[in-house]
Amino acid sequence: VDLHISVLSVPEPLAVSTREELITELQPGIDGLIIEENGKRATYLPSVWEQLPNPEDFVSELRRKAGLSPMAWSENTIVQRYRTEEFS
């Protein structure tokens, strides 16, 4: 059995008002992300960067996971960033 545990930090709000701002704020491989819009919400752990190393793809797929349009942005979009500590 191969067990991995991720302990999440307290999420911090990101004050971004556009998709482009979000993409420039991201730290690939380090940031986990929570996105919320109009009652829909999803998160990606930092380990997801291994499969989606491009920040634009990371954001698009996270929005898709939340049931949102991958390329859209709304004034109601709320974004939070967190880090993880990994244990194996």
CA dist., res. 29 & res. 81, Å (int): 12
Instruction: Spell out where 1-88 has E strands.
Output: 5-8, 12-13, 32-37, 40-44, 78-82, 84-87
Domains and CATH numbers, the chain: 5-87 (3.30.1490.150)
The pLDDT tens digits along the chain (88 residues) read: 888 888 999 999 999 999 999 999 999 999 999 999 999 999 999 999 999 999 999 999 999 999 999 999 999 999 999 999 888 8
Give the global pTM.
0.89
Beta bridge partners of 36: 41, 78
Three-class SS state of 32: strand
Pairing of strands 5-8, 32-37: unpaired
